[in-house]
């Protein structure tokens, strides 16, 4: 059969040497990964609310989203650990009908001795000098100045209008994201000056999160791969889940995963608002809940740092074993026991632990998918690597086929059309799948295993009555992660 030229016409008569360049068999098809922060921005942020904006760095995050905004906090913490993935933010308006959370720090000074007062407010370090015998009102005023001097602080400080020894901390945005503030006295062994105590109490509960209905329309055609948020109320997670499920569908095929930071007590599946309850309630293979619990950093900062290093690994290899990845910059005051982590994992909540010096380590990144439509326990999407790898396989097959076979014809027969022919048939497609599976999915990327079982699973056929549609079914055998070694030592 004649070689199929696309640029050199058969009618060419001018003598010379001619060569077309065909790149259809060269190079790899790559899926450039992006990260996507979804959160509330301040009115002072320059970015248009509700429209995606690319963040080139931390200063850009502060300028575009507003210093101290939840969205800016997540972006800054992500960028602190990951500058590889392109970061995009979806800045949201706060709920105008919402209420901002308020906390009070009540200072009590009795014959106080000179020293340094340290407080970690939402994980941010605040320090002031304390002189011998100083009044509690002076300490409160100095605390206000020190807190407001931190550009990235999520709360605005003011001296209480009734009692000058009280510091009012008001969330810079309305909504539930202002709740759960931890004011820690010490993360690295700091001690208060003698005679000084500070009591912490929440006096106003934040309510009224922004509605996400229609929020994703401006990004409907874009793939962002890894989403990060601190909006974890039931309505928000439902909207996230609906959008992510739709993105994973055959119609759109732009599957993304969400990392959401959750706070509070461990709880159980019948106590609303607890971590276990939130995990069981979602049942979505595209949502990863990261339990900040009651640690000093905010949920947004915690999940952003956790996600930053996890997605760095998954972006290079969707089947990567993420166990043991370090998450620096998150000093914690307590850790979950092995039994508690088992409960979290059973509930569809990711886990972490710490090393001997207190550095947070990723343990197991699971999705919230727990049961099938019949209500039975289903582990098919247990680890995030499963859905990541399945999605990556689909994306690579589609991209490779689109590049290699873009101008081919389709035949339903198995006859020989000759070397170099551009005719697709069930036999050719089967060979394409097997070659891709062996060379790429097994040898190059180690996403899959068991070539023989895969070959036996493939069914390829031309749709009855059609001259343009080829149907196929295949069953990739995914590789796993080495997480558990269980043995019995029967010594004698």
Give the residue among 40, 83, 80, 41 at the shortest CA–CA distance from 63: 41
**Tokens matching residue 380:** 């098919």
Mean pLDDT, all residues of the chain: 94
At residue 484, the pLDDT reads 92
Angle between helices 234-248 and 275-282 (to 10 degrees): 30
At residue 29, the pLDDT reads 64
Q: For the chain, give every domain's residue range.
A: 34-93+211-386, 102-204, 406-492
At residue 287, the pLDDT reads 98
Q: Which CATH class is domain 102-204?
A: alpha beta
Q: What residues are paired with 460 via a beta bridge?
A: 472
Q: What residues are paired with 170 via a beta bridge?
A: 102, 156
| Beta carbons within 8 Å of 473's beta carbon, 6+ residues apart | 457, 458, 459
Q: How does pLDDT run across 106-138, given as a tens digit for each residue?
A: 999 999 999 999 999 999 999 999 999 999 999
pTM: 0.94
User: CA 419, 424, 427, 433 torsion: positive or negative?
Assistant: positive
**Tokens matching residue 463:** 């749709």
- Are 259 and 226 in contact by the 8 Å Cβ rule? The answer is yes
List the chain pLDDT tens, one digit each, 492 residues. Answer: 456 777 778 788 777 777 777 776 666 666 789 999 999 999 999 999 999 999 999 999 999 999 999 999 999 999 999 999 999 999 999 999 999 999 999 999 999 999 999 999 999 999 999 999 999 999 999 999 999 999 999 999 999 999 999 999 999 999 999 999 999 999 999 999 999 999 999 999 999 999 999 999 999 999 999 999 999 999 999 999 999 999 999 999 999 999 999 999 999 999 999 999 999 999 999 999 999 999 999 999 999 999 999 999 999 999 999 999 999 999 999 999 999 999 999 999 999 999 999 999 999 999 999 988 888 889 999 999 999 999 999 999 999 999 999 889 999 988 888 777 889 999 999 999 999 999 999 999 999 999 999 999 999 999 999 999 999 999 999 999 999 999 999 999
Q: How does pLDDT run across 340-359, given as a tens digit for each residue?
A: 999 999 999 999 999 999 99
**Tokens matching residue 400:** 């490779």
Taking phi over 0 as left and psi of -120 to 50 as alpha, with beta for the rest, 177 belongs to alpha
């Amino acid at each position: 059969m004649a070689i199929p030229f696309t640029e050199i016409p058969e009618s060419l008569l001018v003598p010379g040497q001619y060569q077309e360049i065909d790149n259809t068999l060269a190079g790899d098809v790559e899926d450039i990964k992006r990260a996507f922060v979804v959160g509330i921005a301040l009115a002072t942020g320059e970015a248009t609310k509700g429209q995606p904006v690319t963040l080139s760095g931390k200063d850009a995050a502060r300028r575009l989203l507003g210093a101290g905004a939840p969205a800016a906090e997540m972006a800054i913490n992500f960028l602190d650990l990951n500058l590889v993935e392109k970061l995009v933010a979806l800045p949201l308006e706060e709920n105008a009908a919402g209420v901002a959370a308020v906390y009070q720090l009540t200072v009590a000074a009795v014959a106080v001795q000179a020293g340094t007062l340290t407080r970690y407010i939402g994980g941010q370090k605040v320090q002031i000098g304390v002189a011998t015998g100083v009044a509690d009102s002076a300490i409160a005023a100095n605390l206000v100045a020190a807190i407001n001097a931190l550009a990235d602080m999520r709360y605005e400080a003011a001296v209480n209008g009734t009692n000058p020894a009280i510091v009012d901390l008001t969330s810079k945005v309305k909504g539930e994201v202002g709740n759960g503030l931890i004011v820690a006295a010490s993360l690295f062994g700091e001690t208060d000056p003698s005679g000084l105590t500070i009591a912490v109490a929440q006096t106003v509960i934040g309510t009224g999160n922004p509605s996400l209905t229609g929020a994703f329309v401006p990004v409907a055609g874009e793939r962002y791969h890894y989403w990060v948020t601190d909006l974890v109320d039931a309505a928000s997670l439902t909207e996230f889940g609906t959008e992510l499920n739709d993105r994973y569908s055959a119609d759109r095929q732009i599957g993304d995963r969400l990392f959401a930071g959750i706070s509070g007590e461990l709880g159980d599946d019948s106590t609303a608002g607890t971590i276990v309850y939130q995990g069981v309630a979602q049942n979505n293979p595209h949502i990863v809940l990261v339990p900040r619990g009651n640690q000093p950093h905010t949920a947004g900062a915690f999940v952003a740092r956790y996600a930053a290093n996890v997605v760095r690994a998954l972006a290079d290899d969707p089947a990567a074993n993420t166990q043991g990845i370090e998450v620096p910059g998150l000093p914690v005051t307590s850790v979950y026991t092995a039994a508690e982590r088992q409960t979290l994992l059973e509930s569809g909540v990711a886990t972490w632990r710490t090393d001997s010096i207190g550095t947070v380590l990723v343990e197991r990144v699971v999705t919230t998918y727990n049961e099938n439509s019949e209500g039975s326990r289903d582990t098919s999407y247990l680890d995030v690597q499963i859905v990541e790898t399945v999605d990556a396989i689909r994306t690579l097959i589609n991209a490779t086929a689109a590049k290699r076979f873009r101008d081919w014809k389709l035949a339903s027969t198995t006859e020989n059309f000759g070397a170099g022919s551009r005719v697709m048939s069930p036999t050719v497609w089967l060979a394409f799948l097997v070659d891709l599976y062996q060379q790429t999915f097994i040898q190059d990327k180690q996403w899959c295993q068991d070539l023989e079982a895969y070959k036996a699973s493939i069914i390829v056929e031309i749709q009855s009555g059609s001259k343009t549609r080829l149907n196929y079914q295949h069953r990739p055998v995914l590789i796993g992660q080495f997480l558990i070694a269980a043995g019995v030592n029967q010594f004698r």
